[in-house]
């Protein structure tokens, strides 16, 4: 029996690997010229830099990613980081550090705002918060690889509950 997996993003690769481990023959189909889905690098001409896109920030609660990396033998490539994140506002060049204490009022407000909103986006629920443009919007993009105006507030709440808020 052959299992056809459509898409060689992280989910497709994980599925194909699990199926192959189970003894199935796997046929992987991908329309892009490379595997990885949204996980890729590209040159950003405005910044004149290589940008790493995709799941470059792995949060501790994402056991599936850790299991996948362990299966590939890649856990040694992960670098733990302290809960201090240097930030830069590309619009004005302002630099700042996101620390737990500095973000506590906004984190409490975000927890309150995200408690409801089943069909709402992250931007709809958190857009009025003081740190939205400087922290929540970039965090949603980094963690979910989806802009805050399209990212599900429900999913974002679950990610935060399993990682940053535990």
Q: Indicate whether 112 pLDDT > 60.
A: yes
Number of domains observed in the structure of the chain: 2
Confidence of residue 125 (pLDDT cuts 50, 70, 90): very high
Can you read off the two tokens belonging to residue 15?
A: 């599925």
Full domain range(s) for residue 105: 83-166
Residue 30 and residue 102 in one domain: no
Residue 101 lies in a domain: yes
Query: With the C-alpha atoms ordered 149, 97, 62, 74, is the resulting torsion angle positive or negative?
Result: positive
Residue 93 lies in a domain: yes
Can you read off the two tokens belonging to residue 58?
A: 């792995």
Q: Which helix (H) or strand (E) holds 58?
A: none
Residue 131 lies in a domain: yes
Residue 156 lies in a domain: yes
Q: Indicate whether 72 pLDDT > 80.
A: yes
pTM of the complete model:
0.54
């Amino acid at each position: 029996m052959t299992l056809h997996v459509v898409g060689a993003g992280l989910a497709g690769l994980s599925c194909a690997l699990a199926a192959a481990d189970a003894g199935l023959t796997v046929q992987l189909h991908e329309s892009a010229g490379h595997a990885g889905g949204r996980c890729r690098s590209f040159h950003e001409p405005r910044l004149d830099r290589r940008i790493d896109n995709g799941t470059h920030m792995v949060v501790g609660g994402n056991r599936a990613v850790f299991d996948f990396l362990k299966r590939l033998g890649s856990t040694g490539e992960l670098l733990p980081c302290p809960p201090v994140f240097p930030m830069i506002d590309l619009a004005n060049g302002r630099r700042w550090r996101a620390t737990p204490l500095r973000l506590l009022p906004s984190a409490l407000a975000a927890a309150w705002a995200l408690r409801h909103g089943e069909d709402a986006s992250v931007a709809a629920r958190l857009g009025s918060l003081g740190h939205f443009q400087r922290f929540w919007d970039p965090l949603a993009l980094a963690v979910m690889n989806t802009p805050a105006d399209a990212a599900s507030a429900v999913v974002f709440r679950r990610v935060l509950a399993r990682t940053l808020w535990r």
